[in-house]
């Protein structure tokens, strides 16, 4: 945008503070050339997964569980076989001293902290809120795998943006939440039961951030200015993608009131005036986990974000023909 704002471009806000100016200097703008950062061969390089021993209570049990069931290693192997990484990418589960997971740009490495896993190493069978409809049978192992998978793909999203110089727009944290959710959603098999579906992993993972979110009366400007959306917003955004991808499956769970109105309008079109439908939607909205005003938009949101990520996959994460 600087070419349109020559006056602002020459205005040095931090001219008296060179140290701050240096710290806030713009990063080099990527070229965003399709395929330029991809390796020369699909599947040549892989993710190097390591589970280090832990000193945190219960985490060596978790470590062994991940090693034994192999689900993370298998999933990462499948991802690596479909893209052209330019180098091997280490992914290390380790004690960090804080509950976190992050992509390390200079090292091209992903760290996943056991302290973070310890926060969700529990079952959700006790949940008695509306969310219990999709948390049904979400025992400790289900929550452990689902939440870890969602966070892992979120951080991999950051890694892919960095490695392949993906042309995302908007907030990167939102974009990689979409990547994580869409990757899991598009792994669903048509005949799978709800509890078997990877898409439920996305909902379980997003529910974790919903639980961690600050109460409305304790939200500060620092929380609002954070690069992440509020945990509650992230939860509803992922919910919308799941609904948009499969309204038949998730409509009765996430937007029951909306589905009831739609069914009534189809059975009795003579009664479904615009004013009456608007009244029905308001009266049944408490039955929706996802409010109907957002649920209306979800099919389009999913189609748009899915197409965008598939475009970046096809054009930036695999070699391109000259």
Burial (Cβ within 10 Å: 0-12, 13-18, ≥19) of residue 54 = buried
Where do the domains of the chain lie?
47-215+225-255+290-316
Distance, CA of 130 to CA of 211 (rounded, Å): 14
| Residues counted in the chain | 322
Contacts of 222 (CB under 8 A, 6+ apart): none
Burial (Cβ within 10 Å: 0-12, 13-18, ≥19) of residue 272 = middle
62-70 contact pairs (CB < 8 A, 24+)? 62/114, 62/117, 62/121, 62/144, 63/93, 63/114, 65/141, 65/144, 66/93, 66/148, 69/145
Residues 203 and 238 sit within 8 Å (Cβ to Cβ): yes
pLDDT of residue 19: 52
Whole-model pTM? 0.86
pLDDT of residue 221: 64
Residues 110 and 157 sit within 8 Å (Cβ to Cβ): no
pLDDT of residue 300: 96
**Joined tokens for residue 76:** 């990462």
Picking from 163, 128, 170, 125, the residue whose alpha carbon sits closest to that of residue 47 is 163
Cα distances (Å, whole numbers) of residue 87 to 35, 82, 242, 250, 298 = 15, 14, 33, 39, 36
**Joined tokens for residue 211:** 């639980």
Report how many helices (DSSP H) and strands (DSSP E) the chain contains, helices first: 16, 4
pLDDT of residue 125: 83
Phi, psi at 300, each rounded to 5°: -70, -40
Q: Can you point out the beta strands (E) in 37-106?
A: 47-51, 89-94, 101-104
pLDDT of residue 216: 61
**Joined tokens for residue 290:** 């996802």
| Sites in the chain below the pLDDT cut of 70 | 1-30, 213-231, 322
């Amino acid at each position: 945008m600087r070419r349109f704002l020559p006056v602002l471009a020459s205005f040095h806000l931090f001219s008296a503070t060179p140290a701050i100016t240096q710290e806030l200097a713009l990063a080099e703008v990527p070229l965003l050339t399709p395929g330029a950062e991809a390796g020369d061969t699909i599947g040549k390089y892989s993710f190097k997964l390591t589970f280090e021993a832990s000193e945190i209570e219960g985490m060596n049990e978790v470590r062994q569980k991940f090693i034994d069931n192999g689900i993370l290693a298998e999933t990462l192997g499948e991802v690596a076989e479909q893209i052209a990484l330019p180098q091997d990418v280490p992914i290390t589960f380790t004690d960090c001293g804080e509950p976190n997971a992050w992509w390390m740009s200079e090292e091209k490495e992903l760290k996943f902290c056991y302290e973070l896993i310890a926060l969700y190493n529990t079952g959700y069978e006790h949940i008695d809120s509306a969310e219990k409809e999709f948390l049904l049978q979400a025992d400790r192992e289900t929550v452990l795998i689902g939440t870890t998978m969602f966070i892992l793909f979120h951080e991999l999203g950051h890694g892919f943006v960095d490695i392949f110089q993906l042309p995302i727009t908007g907030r990167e944290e939102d974009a990689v939440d979409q990547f994580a959710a869409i990757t899991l959603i598009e792994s669903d098999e048509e005949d799978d039961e709800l509890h078997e579906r990877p898409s439920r992993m996305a909902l379980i993972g997003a529910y974790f951030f919903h639980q961690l979110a600050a109460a409305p009366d304790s939200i500060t400007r620092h929380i609002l200015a954070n690069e992440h959306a509020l945990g509650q917003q992230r939860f509803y955004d992922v919910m919308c993608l799941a609904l948009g991808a499969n309204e038949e499956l998730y409509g009765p769970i996430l937007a029951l009131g909306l589905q009831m109105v739609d069914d009534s309008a189809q059975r009795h079109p003579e009664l479904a005036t615009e004013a009456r439908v608007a009244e029905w939607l308001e009266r049944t909205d408490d039955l929706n986990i996802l409010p109907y005003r957002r649920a209306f938009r979800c099919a389009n949101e999913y189609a748009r974000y899915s197409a965008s990520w598939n475009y970046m996959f096809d054009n930036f994460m695999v070699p391109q023909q000259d």
